[in-house]
Amino acid sequence: MSGGAGGAGGPADRIELRGLRVLARVGVLPFEQDQDQPVEIDLDLVTDLRAAGASDDLADTIDYGAVCAVVERDGVRSAPVALLERLAARIAEVVLAFDGRIAAVEVAVRKLRPPVAQHLATSGVRLRRERAPGP
């Protein structure tokens, strides 16, 4: 069973956050640039969870409530974007800057009402970003 340090590749543990729904200004169409629309965000935070597993202390892990708040405030609501790709990249940047214990983050962002003529439940992107190695 993997976990903890994860060997040479860093931690294998992760905190999974699913279905964070927020309003965003994202899109290239004029109406998308003028009004908020709902998006849904999933995050996987790669971090070593051994200390929290042993201590049962919030200080030894990542406060996911605070992560959700910073993603909404600084990642989504800070400025409009044209592309979901940029929104996801900005969210990844915000998450990695939030806590140095986060080694990597996987971000999925979905528009819940994509503006296409066909019946499409969602459109989205998924990306993974890792913390740059230290000196």
Q: Report pLDDT for 103.
A: 97
Write out pLDDT tens, residues 28-67.
999 999 999 999 999 999 999 999 999 999 999 999 999 9
- Chain-wide mean pLDDT for the chain? 93
pTM: 0.90
Active site residue 111: yes
Give the C-alpha separation, 99 to 117, whole Å: 41
Q: How many CB atoms lie within 10 A of CB 88?
A: 26
Residue 100 in 3-state DSSP? coil
Task: Taking residues 108-113, report their average pLDDT.
Answer: 96
Catalytic residue among 65, 79, 111, 112: 111
**Backbone torsions φ then ψ of 50, nearest 5 degrees:** -60, -45
The tokens of 94 are what?
A: 């915000």
Most distant CA pair in the chain, distance: 52
Domain definitions of the chain by residue range: 7-130
pLDDT band at 5 (very low <50, low <70, confident <90, very high): low
Do 62 and 99 form a contact (C-beta atoms < 8 A)?
A: yes
Domain 7-130: which topology? GTP Cyclohydrolase I, domain 2 (3.30.1130)
Q: Report pLDDT for 135.
A: 65
Write out pLDDT tens, residues 69-82.
999 999 999 999 99
